[in-house]
């Protein structure tokens, strides 16, 4: 039990990003599975651990029957089951409250299992009819098994058995498909106060211009002040998880979804969690798009030694800003050519809204390169129409183009904020105008 390693289904489940998980198992398979995702979970065994934990500490793993490291908390005998409520009243209250605020899904349980019967008895005794609908995930359950669940008010998700696949492999595929669907749909229904990020979430991931920052909560303000303006100057849209609003209980899934679609990933490895997240990111994506940031005294694991890394020194922020600017501008110059063809590619794929959003983002980035922008994130950033007005005044753009460009921005805004469809013929005209304007802009050095 001490040396057992999690199966592929355990890892795929941990990658789903559930923030609260209950288990009756004594082993450490789930803990080790979460470690492989870069987001270690927080095992909760006794009542003393219930207080003082914030969502940033990691997914919560409630071990209802304890584990072998805490023999005093083990629930093994019939007497242990009977005394559970009286011995651990606060834990029982915390668990039953979850059944009011969350939809429970039982995985790997049957009513032949005393754990299942005890858990359902706990819900019935403490909540009566106040619990949310309980679901159970089964593979090839018989009609009799399904009926046993439904007699107790539990609805069954009964997956057909797939020939040639083991139970573990079938669960792994199910969890992986569910995770892909959840991450995609989660961002589709999200909200952001930053219109660049909001617009970016409407285009395919390969068209994204976001730069996602996976940084400690207590460092977010520093990055927004010192680093975000540099990212914007390079023509990318900086974002942290808290900039995007999604339903409660989805913070970890949201962060993973934003990281997966971002063009650039910046990870602060000053914490152990940051190091684990960075190691996982290095295995999952093109490492040329990943930048690690560490403190002056932070060690660097061997697995991360091949990644680009900058040292953050709060006493000399200017040096860090310059080093960051050099890195991201080199990346920007390599990415610009593909960005210029992205709108046309989306038109060919019959995505007029995505094409228009991509074209306007390109126009913003190119005008930004030539006009500059506020050096502090505390100063409001110009909107697309303001960029165009400034470009006309600076004679970077012909005045006769202003009306068509303003109409393109208006159509893009209606697509982003009001979900108004863009007719393909309009998108073709707007994209053509924007690409012509971008192609006629003077070199960056001449414009400055």
Q: Nearest Cα to 379, choosing from 255, 245, 246, 224?
A: 224
Give me the tens of pLDDT residue by residue for the chain, a chain 448 residues long: 556 789 999 999 999 988 899 888 888 899 999 888 877 888 888 666 666 555 556 788 988 777 767 666 666 566 666 666 667 777 777 877 888 888 889 898 877 767 667 767 777 776 766 678 889 999 999 999 999 888 888 899 999 999 999 999 999 999 999 998 988 888 888 888 888 898 888 888 888 889 999 998 889 999 999 899 999 888 899 999 999 999 888 888 888 889 888 989 999 988 766 776 776 666 666 667 889 998 887 777 776 777 888 998 877 888 899 999 999 988 887 777 777 788 999 999 999 999 999 999 899 888 888 887 655 445 566 788 888 999 999 999 999 999 999 999 999 999 988 889 999 999 999 999 999 999 999 887 555 5
> If you search the block for the tokens 């990055």, which residue do you land on?
223
Q: Return the structure tokens found at 373.
A: 């922008």
The string of DSSP codes covering 79-126 is HHHHHHHHH-HHHHHHHHHHHHHS--EEES--TTSHHHHHHHHHHHHH
Instruction: Report the C-alpha gap between 140 and 115 in whole angstroms.
Output: 21
CB 408, CB 343: distance < 8 Å: no
CA atoms within 13 A on the CB side of 3: 0
Chain length of the chain: 448
* Sequence-ordered list of residues with C-beta below 8 angstroms from that of 439, at least 6 positions apart, any chain: none
Q: Give the single-character DSSP code of 140.
A: S
Nearest partner of 182 among 255, 263, 280, judged by Cα: 255
Structure tokens at 151: 């007699």
If we measure between CA atoms, which residue out of 303, 275, 276 comes closest to residue 37?
276
Q: What is the CA radius of gyration of the chain?
A: 26
- Compute the 3-state secondary structure of the chain and give helix, strand, coil in percent, each to the nearest 5: 55, 10, 30
What is the C-alpha to C-alpha distance for residues 431 and 399, in angstroms, rounded to an integer?
18
Residues 6+ apart with CB under 8 A from 211: 231, 236, 237, 238, 239, 262, 263, 264, 265, 266, 328
- Backbone phi, then psi, for 145, in 5-degree steps? -65, -45
Rounded to 5 degrees, φ, ψ at 54 are -105, 160
End-to-end CA distance of the chain: 66
What is d(CA 348, CA 338) in angstroms, rounded to the nearest whole number? 15
Beta-carbon contacts of 366 under 8 Å, excluding residues fewer than 6 positions away, are: 235, 438, 441
pTM across the whole model: 0.78
Q: What are phi and psi of 334, to 5 degrees?
A: -75, -30
CA dist 294 to 10, 109, 168, 227, 265, Å?
31, 44, 38, 14, 14
Q: How many CA atoms lie within 13 A of 334 on its CB side?
A: 10
Write the DSSP string, 338-366.
Answer: HHHHHHHHHHHTT-HHHHHHHHHHHHHHH
């Amino acid at each position: 039990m001490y040396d057992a390693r999690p199966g592929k289904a355990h890892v795929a489940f941990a990658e789903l990003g559930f923030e609260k998980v209950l288990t009756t198992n004594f082993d450490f398979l789930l803990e080790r599975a979460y470690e492989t995702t870069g987001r270690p979970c927080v095992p909760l065994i006794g009542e003393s651990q219930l207080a003082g934990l914030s969502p940033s500490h990691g997914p919560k793993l409630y071990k209802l029957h304890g584990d072998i490291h805490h023999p005093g908390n083990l629930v093994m005998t019939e007497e242990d089951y009977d005394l559970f409520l009286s011995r651990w009243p606060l834990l029982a209250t915390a668990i039953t409250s979850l059944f009011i605020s969350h939809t429970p899904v039982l995985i790997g349980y049957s009513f032949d299992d005393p754990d299942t019967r005890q858990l359902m008895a706990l819900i019935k005794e403490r909540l009566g009819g106040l619990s949310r609908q309980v679901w159970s995930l089964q593979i090839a359950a018989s009609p009799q098994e399904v009926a046993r669940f439904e007699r107790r008010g539990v609805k069954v998700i009964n997956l057909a058995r797939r020939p040639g696949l083991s139970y573990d492999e079938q669960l792994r595929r199910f969890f992986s498909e569910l995770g892909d669907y959840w991450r995609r749909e989660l961002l589709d229904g999200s909200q952001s106060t930053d219109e660049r990020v909001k617009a970016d979430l409407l285009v395919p991931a390969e068209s994204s211009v976001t730069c996602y920052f996976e940084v400690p909560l207590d460092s977010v303000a520093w990055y927004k002040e010192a680093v975000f303006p540099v990212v914007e100057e390079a023509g990318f849209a900086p974002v942290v998880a808290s900039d995007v609003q999604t339903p409660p209980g989805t913070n970890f899934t949201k962060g993973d979804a934003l990281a997966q679609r971002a063009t650039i990933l910046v990870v602060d490895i000053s914490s152990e969690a940051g190091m684990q997240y960075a190691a996982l990111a290095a295995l999952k994506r093109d490492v040329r798009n990943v930048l690690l940031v560490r403190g002056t005294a932070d060690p660097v694991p061997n697995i991360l030694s091949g990644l680009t890394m900058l040292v953050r020194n709060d006493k000399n922020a200017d040096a860090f800003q310059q080093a960051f600017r050099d890195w991201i501008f080199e990346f920007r110059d390599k990415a610009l050519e593909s960005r210029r063809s992205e709108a046309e590619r989306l038109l060919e794929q019959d995505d007029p809204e995505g094409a228009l959003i991509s074209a306007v983002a390109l126009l913003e980035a190119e005008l930004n390169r030539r006009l500059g922008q506020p050096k502090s994130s505390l100063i409001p950033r110009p909107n697309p129409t303001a960029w165009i007005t400034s470009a006309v005044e600076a004679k970077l753009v012909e005045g006769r183009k202003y009306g068509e460009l303003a109409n393109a921005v208006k159509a893009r805004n209606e697509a982003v904020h009001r979900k108004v469809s863009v007719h393909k013929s309009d998108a073709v005209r707007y994209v053509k105008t924007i690409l012509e304007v971008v192609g006629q802009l003077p070199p960056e050095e001449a414009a400055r």
